[in-house]
Amino acid sequence: MMTEMANTLTCIVCRSALAPGHQDWHFTCRRCGLERSNLKVKINHNFSLDEDQRLQALHAVRQRNAKQVIGHLTRLLNKSSLQILDVGPGPGWFLDEAAKIYAPVGIEPDRSIFDRLQSKGHKVINGFFPEDVPKDQMFDAIIFNDVLEHIEDIPTAISKCSEMIFPGGLLSVALPVKSGLFYKLSKIMSMAGFPSFFKRLWQVDMPSPHLYYFSTKNLTQLVETDGFRLAVCEPMDVLTYDGLFERIRYSGENSFLKATVLFLPIAFLVFLHKLLPRDTFLLIFTKAK
């Protein structure tokens, strides 16, 4: 109980006391800007049809995000075979892509997700990171895609990564950041008395809500205390021009003429979105040699 209270009230980055935030479950660090919640995690729920449909809608973007991470691993490590650990693979978008080149392993606590990944032919450990990773196993890269912000004890997770990654290896973290446009909008709406978007972004009432919102700066500060150095810090692509016309044409079954008319305003929105503060970032850290 004492530990839980201490975690709730102390910043994991700068050790300052956390101050009350915008909701009774939300806290902020006035010194480094870290935000956290005391929302409860419920692992081992059952997938619903709604979730399946939501996953389908996200597929193209997630596949692209996975390729973005793998491109960096290939470039930075430059080895023909890589031992990769994907923490909390979820539907397996990263494993699907990584398995085309390397032999990645996933670690997944949720039994039904674990079963799905195994039935797709992926190598997966059913359990929690870091305690269920086989002892003395080392990796070239450990991957957290939309996962780190769900972990209660992040400092321990990062120091375990430092022990499990070969010198010169990589720790890759993709996560929502507090500087994002949508996150900032959600806060303004919450302060104006409309908290539903803010609660949605923190995934309140979802099986695994967000426990933290970092900035790229305070995350780097935290990870670099464990012998890592920042190598990549860039926004994750959410909307792209690639195949945009085809997506407009076929996703809504639009005629060629209608798709042509729709293309320009949608392309303009994609262009605008690239200029605005992005909500998801990719940070890759190199372990000291």
Binding site for Zn ion (CB under 5 A): 11, 13-14, 16, 29, 31-32, 34
Least distance from C-beta 234 to Zn ion, angstroms? Answer: 24
Least distance from C-beta 13 to Zn ion, angstroms? Answer: 4
In the complex with Zn ion, the residue whose CB is nearer, 15 or 258, is: 15
Q: Which residues pair with 85 in a beta bridge?
A: 105, 142
> How many residues does the structure list for the chain?
289
Least distance from C-beta 185 to Zn ion, angstroms? Answer: 23
In the complex with Zn ion, the residue whose CB is nearer, 27 or 94, is: 27
In the complex with Zn ion, the residue whose CB is nearer, 214 or 281, is: 214
Centroid of chain to Cα 56: 18
Closest CA to 72 of 101, 93, 96, 92: 101
Residue 105 · residue 78 · CB < 8 Å:
no
Q: Which residues pair with 213 in a beta bridge?
A: 35
Instruction: Quote the tokens at residue 219.
Output: 């995350």
In the complex with Zn ion, the residue whose CB is nearer, 34 or 259, is: 34
In the complex with Zn ion, the residue whose CB is nearer, 175 or 259, is: 175
Least distance from C-beta 215 to Zn ion, angstroms? Answer: 10
Q: Which residues pair with 176 in a beta bridge?
A: 280
Residue 219 CA to residue 34 CA, distance in Å, equals 9
Residue 141 one-letter amino acid: A
In the complex with Zn ion, the residue whose CB is nearer, 22 or 31, is: 31
Cβ within 8 Å of residue 246, ≥6 positions away: none
Residue 204 CA to residue 212 CA, distance in Å, equals 12
**Tokens 């990062």 appear where?**
158
Least distance from C-beta 209 to Zn ion, angstroms? Answer: 20
Residue 287 · residue 162 · CB < 8 Å:
yes
Least distance from C-beta 15 to Zn ion, angstroms? Answer: 7
Phi, psi for residue 167 in degrees, rounded to 5: -55, 135
Cβ within 8 Å of residue 94, ≥6 positions away: 66, 69, 70, 86, 104, 143, 145
Which helix H or strand E contains 283, and what residues bound it?
Answer: strand 280-287
Residue 22 CA to residue 34 CA, distance in Å, equals 13
Least distance from C-beta 232 to Zn ion, angstroms? Answer: 24
Least distance from C-beta 145 to Zn ion, angstroms? Answer: 24
In the complex with Zn ion, the residue whose CB is nearer, 45 or 217, is: 217
In the complex with Zn ion, the residue whose CB is nearer, 35 or 108, is: 35
